[in-house]
Amino acid sequence: MTDDSTFEAAFKDVFGGAPEGAWAAPGRVNLIGEHTDYNDGYVMPFALPHITRAAIARRDDGLLRLRSADMDDGTVELAVADLAPGTTPGWVRYPAAVLWSLRQAGHDIGGADILYDSTVPVGGGLSSSAALQVVTALALTELHGVEGLSRQDLALLCQSSENTYVGAPVGVMDQTASACCTDGHALHLDVRGLVGRQVPLDLSAEGLRLLVVDTRVKHSHADGAYGERRAGCEAAAAALGVAALRDVPHDGLAAALAALAALPDDRLRRLTRHVVTENRRVEEVLDLCEAGRLRDIGPVLTAGHASLRDDFQVSCPELDLVVDTALAAGALGARMTGGGFGGSAIVLIEADDEQRIGAAVSAALPQSRQFVTTPSAGARRLW
């Protein structure tokens, strides 16, 4: 990523004038808690050091001009007054959605020139889309002096803009991670009530590493399958007479799993079993983090992968290959992270094993890219 003055010069090259400031928002990995956010459950992501940057200047002619250094479609120009759900094609629908939602919420925000660039792999399951939304929301609201919106409010606004304007029925985890995470911590979030807790997570101090492996595949049915899983969860909750799968009676896991017998078919039973057991895994990982037993997180991650693969059925051969290879090479635990059907896996390893396990994964899936990561800062103003 270029330095501040080069980024500023790039803005001037594209738009002619100087930016008023620049903001950044990170991508994320989810340590544990997959497909639980839209079931009112628990998640535990942390922010990556990879960020999407936005340099921005306000305009007074009602135009929104957008440019991404990562896309080859040049500058895209939209009239703010014409923004409407479902009408904006391409990547600009994410920032357009954010501006539209802010205006729908009554904030007097007009046109702008915005230049983006990013170190978050795009489409890698590491939430480049949430980074793009959150950096836009933070830049626009801070530049306009909008008051009374918390970071969580911004995340909710970004999520609802994605649901309504982009048309993707996503939960609130990714945007919350990008907006609310803090350096050195994972964010434990109870999505019901949106109660967040910053959990210190210093893997290096324990001689551990977290390896992120981007499979660089994204299967084309991913979006439809996500909606289908979500609809299945809602159908299961309705059949069980609870508001959300989070509410499956859980005075003990056995009781919760026994409740599944009331469901009409095996597909709904499997979806529900994943959500029930995954919520427990989040609580287990939280307890292990707080007890300083970070090595013991490994098997919980691996169990989460098996549940996503077998019960929720959102893994894919490439993710399974990465997980199986890493475990066979001696990883403490491994799982897919993010929505699935491609994207990335996380692998918990002893620091001494970094080269060996990294090489084994590369040899098994040569197209993959990997990096070791650590919990990093959430969205912020750069200058």
Which of the residues are catalytic? 174
Question: Does 30 contact ligand ADP by CB under 6 A?
Answer: no
Reported as half-sphere exposure (CB side, CA atoms, 13 A), residue 309 has a value of 19
Nearer to ligand ADP, 105 or 122 (CB): 122
Q: Which of 105, 122, 327, 372 binds ligand ADP (CB under 6 A)?
A: 122
The residue length of the chain stands at 383
Nearer to ligand ADP, 70 or 142 (CB): 70
Question: Which tokens belong to 175?
Answer: 């945007």
Q: How far apart are the first and last CA of the chain?
A: 16
Judged by beta carbon distances under 5 to 8 A according to partner kind, the member of Mg ion, ligand ADP, none in contact with residue 215 is none
Nearer to Mg ion, 112 or 173 (CB): 173
In the beta sheet, which residues pair with residue 30?
45
Shortest Cβ 343–ligand ADP spacing (Å): 6
x-or-dash string of contact with ligand ADP, 43-72, rule CB under 6 A: ---------x---------------x-xx-
Site size toward ligand ADP, by CB under 6 A: 18
Judged by beta carbon distances under 5 to 8 A according to partner kind, the member of Mg ion, ligand ADP, none in contact with residue 45 is none
Nearer to Mg ion, 129 or 315 (CB): 129
Q: Rounded distance, CA 80 to CA 112, Å? A: 9
Handedness of CA 290, 291, 294, 297 (dihedral sign): negative
User: Cβ distance 319 to 345 under 8 Å?
Assistant: yes
Judged by beta carbon distances under 5 to 8 A according to partner kind, the member of ligand ADP, Mg ion, none in contact with residue 68 is ligand ADP
Shortest Cβ 67–ligand ADP spacing (Å): 9
To which residue do tokens 């509410």 refer?
Answer: 247
Q: Are strands 333-337 and 342-350 parallel, antiparallel or unpaired?
A: antiparallel
Residue 359 host element (H or E): helix 354-364
Residue 371 host element (H or E): strand 369-373
Shortest Cβ 291–ligand ADP spacing (Å): 32
How many helices (H) and strands (E) the chain has is answered by 11, 12
Three-state DSSP class for residue 256: helix
Q: What residue ranges bind Mg ion (CB under 5 A)?
A: 129
Nearer to ligand ADP, 211 or 248 (CB): 211
Please identify, among the stretches 75-83, 114-122, 252-260, 301-309, the one whose residues bind ligand ADP according to the rule CB under 6 A: 114-122
Q: Which of 30, 36, 101, 129 binds ligand ADP (CB under 6 A)?
A: 129
